[in-house]
A and B are shown apart, each in its own frame.
Chain A
Amino acid sequence: MLKITDLKKSYGKGEPVLKGLNLTTDERRLTAIIGSSGAGKSTLLRCINRLVPANSGKIELDGVNILDLHGQQLQHTRRQIGMIFQAYNLVDRLTVMENVLAGRLGYVGMLRGILRRFPQEDVDRAYALLQRVGLSQYVNKRCDTLSGGERQRVGCARALMQNPRILLADEPTASLDPKTSERIMELIAGITDELDLPVLINLHNVPQATTYADRILGLRHGVMIFDGNPGDLTEDWLEKIYAGYEDDLKKQMRVAPQEQDDE
């Protein structure tokens, strides 16, 4: 469905961040991308929905090369790709409902969007999603009054509101405390399972990746050096993926789910 071929990306005149990346999503649903910070994980996701322009290569969604699109075509493709952000990226001063409905902006006309006159089925769906993520009592609360975990739930609902073909998530739990982080991972894994929605998720937490993912990709300096099942991710591989960033790895291993409950 999503097929990336020889993707190259560098920022300005700097070192290339992605050095000819290939990736095809398959029947396995939740794909976790791990790698040290600076490996290019965020860049990869942001190239897919064109938040940053790639230099060369192909990114095909159902056979359409995203890198060739402009204007409305690009908007139409973007609305098929949901995204969850590390910093939630909600509009603080809008209500929960408005933030969730914003996920429909790629579908509604200009005036409807501006006047908040969304079709009834969108409102129904938004409410159902809010119930699913456990926030239906906060419909008209402003987002700046929510906690981090609640905000990320709104972020998930907004991304799913797009009715996407694929979901991207860029370290969705990195700004949360360990317990909340676990809850959010459960939510994302659970809800995408119900919807049978493929997910591409950057994780900084290796135990979480092996727990929730069906497939793991190891990114190192812009090159994919590991692609396999969670069970195949041996110590050896981890050392290779994180070579030179052992501290990074240790820190991440420490946030293992079991240890959280007594904190």
Chain B
Amino acid sequence: MNDNTNSVSPSLLAGDHFDWVRYSRKQRLARSFGYVAAAVLLYWALSTVDIFWPWVRTAPAQLGDMMFRMFPPSLEKLNPILYALVESINIAVLGTIVAVVLALPVAYLGAQTVTPNRVTLWLARVIIVATRSVDTIIWALIFVAILGPGPLAGILAVAFRSIGFLGKLIAEAIEEIDWGPVEAMQAAGASRAHIVTYAIVPQVVPSFWAITILRWDINIRESTVLGLVGAGGIGLIFQGAIDTFKWNTVSLVLIVIVMVVFAGELVTGIVRRKLL
């Protein structure tokens, strides 16, 4: 050992002054700007929002009181709850099926690589944006206004919201396929219908199932609230229990919803692992 070992770098001990900074100047500026903007926006929101602050102070007590009254869940309404639950699930399934049927042509027209022309592409895009941006429960408001209350309005609401979702994702899946087989079919003199069934459909099938199952899972959750606007399912019982202050029934409904959504997620997971 020579005596240098202990002092390999004197600057580490005594230290030339070194300005240590984590990010480049530009990054830091962007970052600070982001934080300041967020803070300003938040301040604006908090200082102008229309909240009656005394209620905020009593809120914990109110919530605690309500939780207290929810226990124990009452099984009194179990049968109608289960019946309505099945209706909710049916709405989700039928709505998803209707949506798939309607979304497939939209996806075909909305995929840049296969759509026949600009007009069809834009038509599909407008449909996708319009149905995707309007929430299921708003679609339910519309269909209840048209068709009157009941599960049919719920099915159509679920279906319409899902068209854009499915259409967008399936169109993206179509755009991502390997183009080679399509060319091979063209070179063999196949017609458009044959190219679709031999070269496009087989490649899109796995994504199609993954996307459809994902949406079905989401739709189960969505279908639990449709009853609140009269579109069928468990939401109606929930609303009734709230309106009549039957807190023990409310808690049972909540438990049932959590369980069915959880079961839906399990099924989705299993199917996904089996299929793909």
Contacts and interface: CB of A to CB of B under 8 A. Distances in A.
B187 interface: yes
B183 interface: yes
Given A78-B186, A83-B187, A106-B188, A114 B199 contact: no
Contact of A91 (B181, B187, B189): B181
A158 B189 contact: no
A79 interface: yes
Interface string A87-111: 1111111100010001101110010
B199 A91 contact: yes
A48 B184 CA distance: 14
Interface in A136-173: 155, 158-159, 162
Contact of B193 (A90, A102, A114, A159): A114
Given A91-B198, A92-B203, A105 B184 contact: no
Most buried by A among B178, B180, B190: B190
Given A87-B180, A92-B203, A81 B187 contact: yes
A49 B199 contact: no
A113 B194 contact: yes
Given A91-B198, A113-B194, A114-B193, A102 B188 contact: yes
A114 B187 contact: no
Contacts of B187: 49, 51, 78, 81-83
B60 interface: no
A105 B202 contact: no
A62 B187 CA distance: 18
Given A87-B180, A90-B184, A158-B184, A105 B191 contact: yes
Contacts of B183: 51, 85, 89
Interface residues of B, number: 21
B198 A105 contact: yes
Nearest to A83: B187
A93 B190 CA distance: 19
Contact of A85 (B180, B194, B198, B205): B180
Contact of B202 (A83, A91, A113, A162): A91
Given A79-B189, A162-B189, A98 B184 contact: no
Contacts of B186: 49, 51, 78
Given A85-B184, A90-B181, A114-B194, A105 B203 contact: no
Contact of B180 (A77, A88, A159): A88
B184 A77 contact: no
A76 interface: yes
A218 B188 CA distance: 27
A101 to B, nearest CB: 9
Nearest to A142: B202
Interface in A204-253: none
Nearest to B182: A89
Most buried by B among A83, A102, A158, A162: A102
A260 interface: no
Contact of B189 (A78, A89, A98): A78
B203 A93 contact: yes
B184 A78 contact: no
A253 B93 CA distance: 62
Contact of B205 (A79, A93, A102, A114): A93
B185 interface: yes
Nearest to B206: A93
B191 A75 contact: yes
B197 interface: yes
Contacts of B203: 91-93
Nearest to A110: B193
Interface string B85-100: 0000000000000000
24 contacts: A51-B183, A78-B186, A78-B187, A78-B188, A81-B187, A83-B187, A85-B184, A91-B199, A92-B178, A93-B206, A102-B185, A102-B194, A105-B185, A105-B189, A105-B191, A106-B188, A106-B190, A113-B191, A113-B194, A114-B194, A158-B184, A159-B188, A162-B188, A162-B189
Interface of A: 49, 51, 74-83, 85, 87-94, 98, 102-103, 105-107, 110, 113-114, 155, 158-159, 162
Given A79-B188, A155-B184, 15 more contacts: A83-B188, A85-B180, A85-B183, A85-B184, A92-B202, A93-B203, A94-B198, A94-B202, A102-B198, A105-B194, A106-B189, A107-B189, A110-B191, A113-B197, A162-B189
User: What 3 pairs across the A-B complex have the smallest Cβ distances?
Assistant: A106-B189, A79-B189, A89-B180
